[in-house]
Each structure stands twice: as C-alpha cells, then as structure tokens.
Structure 1
C-alpha cells in the first residue's frame, strides 16, 4: 500500500495535479471568448483543415470519437461550428467552422501561448526543452506498453 507521501510526491499524482490546474486555468481564460477548455483542440484541428469528420478530429487529438461528438454538439449550440452530412458518404458527417469559430483563432492562440508562458515562466529554455522531451518519452513508454 502507498503511503501519503508516495501518493502526493509521485509522478502520477503530480501529472494529474498539473493537468487539472492547467485545464482549470485554460477554462478560466477561454470562457470570456465563449470557448470551453478542450474545445480549443477541436477548433485547432478545424483551423488547420476545415470539414473533418468527428473520427478524424478524435484521431488528431487522441481522444475517443464520442468525446468529440459530445463536444461538437455543445460547440454547435454555441455557434462555433456546424455539422453537415458528407456529400460523398451519407453515413458520415463533417464539422465546419462558423464565421464566429473562425474569428476566434487569434484570441484562442493568444490564450494558449500566454498560459504556456505562465506555466513555464520559472524554467529556463533548456529546462523547457528537457521537460517536453521527458514528457514525450513518458508518452512513448506508455504507448509501447499498450501493444
């Protein structure tokens, strides 16, 4: 059994804590723009290539398709995106930016840049590079264990 110190000093605890705090701060900073935390990833995909299917978006941001479907429903209600049937395959739908969703690119990019800068403010450039490298290696290790 883990003692309290192991639970609060361990990697999993720390990663979860930082993740929750980043998500909460992203939510606070994005809400004035009418965007909820997590939706910026979907918008980012559509800014790169509009008209993706929910499955394509899910694959690009490494989440399950039903998660994207629920988020797209909320984003449609908020006027950020619209969903239309695929003209070549009636079984599929495609997600398209609305004018409002398209115009948020600069604001959302700025929020994301500022949040990242604030989160990494106490790290040197070398430490930032090292942190990203280490996180990438952890991700690779976890992905290799799934096979």
Structure 2
C-alpha cells in the first residue's frame, strides 16, 4: 500500500498497486491504518488527495516479510550455480516487467 521505497503512495493508487478493485483496496487500507502499519497524510501538492505512508511498525513488518522471503529464496537456491541464479534473476525480472504491462 504505502511504497516500500519510503515514498508515499496515493490512496487511490492502492488498488492498482495490489491488483484488486477499489472497494477491496479501501478495506485493506482501513485495516492497515487501524493496525498502525500505515497512516494517511494530506498530499502537499493537492490537499484533496490522501497519501499512505508506512509507519515505523509498518516498516518493521515489511522488513520481517522481506527477510523471510530472502531466507526462503536462498534456501531454495542453495545448490544452484552462480550462472543458474543469474538466469533465474534475469527471467524473473522479465516476468515482473511483463506483469506491469
């Protein structure tokens, strides 16, 4: 919802970011706000818009998820050669790029 890169995500862009409909995204955002993972802030450039910003708790939770994912990937590929990892990384990047089209 809020950008993991640290920059805010417009509230309206949350549905596109998580690939779901706007009503579902609104419920997910409300839950994340209620849980203290993100907070709503007025957009400085356009006061009619709302941005979602990760809280410190949200950042910690995201770090836990990313750490778990890194551990799982490393375990799954521990017997792969460097070349196999490179091919996989290239193909995965290509796949993710294709999803964004």
TM-score by length of 1: 0.48
Aligned structure 1 segments of 4 or more residues deviating by more than 6 angstroms:
none
Larger Rg: 1
Q: Alpha-carbon deviation of 1:81?
A: 0.8
Larger RCO: 1 or 2 (CA < 8 Å, sep 6+): 2
Q: State yes or no: 1:120 paired with 2:77.
A: yes
Structure number with higher strand proportion: 2
Aligned to 1:95: 52
Aligned CA distance change for structure 1 residues 84 and 65 (closer, same or farther; 3 Å) = farther
Structure with greater proportional helix content:
1
In structure 1, the residue matched to 2:89 is 132
Q: Distance in 1 between matches of 2:51 and 2:77?
A: 36
TM-score, normalised via structure 2 length: 0.63
Unaligned runs of 5+ in 2: none
Aligned residues: 99
> What is the CA deviation profile of residues 69-90 of structure 1, one whole-angstrom value per residue up to 9, with x for unaligned ones?
4432221122111113324323
Q: Which runs of 5+ in 1 are unaligned?
A: 1-41
Q: CA RMSD in A?
A: 3.3
